[in-house]
Amino acid sequence: MTWSHIRAILNVNDAGNCIIKIFDNKNIRTIWDENEEKYYFSIIDVVLVLTESQNPKNYWYTLKSRLKSEGNETLTNCKELKLTAEDGKKRFTDVMDTEQLFRLVQSIPSSKAEPFKIWLAKVGNERVDETFDPEQAIFRAINIYRKKGYSQKWIENRLKTISNRNELTESWNEHGIEEDLEFAILTNEIYKTWSDLTAKEYKKLKKLTKESLRDNMTNTELALNNLAEVVTKDLIDTKQPYGLKENKKIANEGSQVAKNARLDAEKRLGKPIVTSKNAKETNLI
């Protein structure tokens, strides 16, 4: 397994360069800047976990205005980077590096401030440790799922699907797919073909908002989605498509194999495979 596959396993949200870190069972979107060799964290996500505000965006903008009036340019002159939003689209979001976040925490009254500082320091150390020992990334991903309560069997299946997904996206990239929107279109084609639901419809069925769709699939749903992606990757290697139009056709062909398997399984089981239940409502966790 290559380091890119290990990173894919660690970045379990399947969202390109946007990495999900977990604090207090809540997601914090981050990006690792290879050139600067540092993490950047979504400020809005950090505000949400520290304050539990109903509107963390407004909380941050109000705080930002106050800090600016006080002449605190260190915190107000923050970067804007594209991060994946709830609807799956990437939007420019205010971010801070680790040093800035330590200072920001001091400006937010919260009982979680000290635990968050410890967590923040640990995140930075993990990156250094994984550079010297990439296997730690895999173990950390496993531990994240274990802490969430997922079964060992499901975790094993999930890690395999993440690795296979990464191989598919690499193959798409080699065959003319570069834009985030194009990756989303092809992914949606796979979902729509084998499950008869778009990604948006699938998430709505499972009553999901920010949560990962794949993290809420049953073992059978994961297996079928994985089958669709593996066959699509094999077809790309065989037929060598290029560009969105040709790759979309291949994605449909590969996913049709999984759809046929789903329909056959449903006929034999006498019940639908695609379920409305999410991870909290099944025996996944």
Residue from 204, 163, 239 nearest 8 by CA: 163
pLDDT of residue 134: 55
pLDDT of residue 63: 92
Q: Where are the alpha helices (DSSP H) in 175-242?
A: 180-195, 199-205, 219-239
**DSSP result, 183-195:** HHHHHHHHHHHHH
Are the CB atoms for 75 and 107 separated by under 8 Å?
yes
pLDDT of residue 88: 66
Residue from 231, 195, 239 nearest 213 by CA: 195
Residue-wise burial string across 74-85, b where 16 or more C-beta atoms lie within 10 A, e elsewhere: ebbebeebbbbe
pLDDT of residue 72: 84
Are the CB atoms for 44 and 92 separated by under 8 Å?
no
pLDDT of residue 262: 98
pLDDT of residue 261: 98
At position 213, the amino acid (one-letter code) is: L
Instruction: Report the C-alpha gap between 160 and 217 in whole angstroms.
Output: 14
Are the CB atoms for 228 and 258 separated by under 8 Å?
yes
pLDDT of residue 20: 78
Sign of CA dihedral 172, 229, 9, 19: positive
Residue from 77, 57, 58 nearest 67 by CA: 77
pLDDT of residue 123: 80
19: enclosing H helix or E strand: strand 18-23
User: Which residues lie below 8 Å from residue 121, measured CB to CB, with a gap of 6+?
Assistant: 98
Q: Phi/psi of residue 97, each to 5°?
A: -85, 180
pTM of the model: 0.61
pLDDT digits (tens), the chain, 285 positions: 444 554 454 444 433 456 778 888 888 998 877 677 788 999 999 999 999 899 999 999 999 999 888 888 778 788 898 887 776 677 889 999 888 998 899 889 999 999 998 888 888 666 544 544 556 667 777 887 888 888 888 888 888 898 899 899 999 999 999 888 899 999 999 999 999 999 999 999 999 887 889 999 999 999 999 999 999 999 999 999 999 999 999 999 999 999 999 999 999 999 999 999 888 787 565
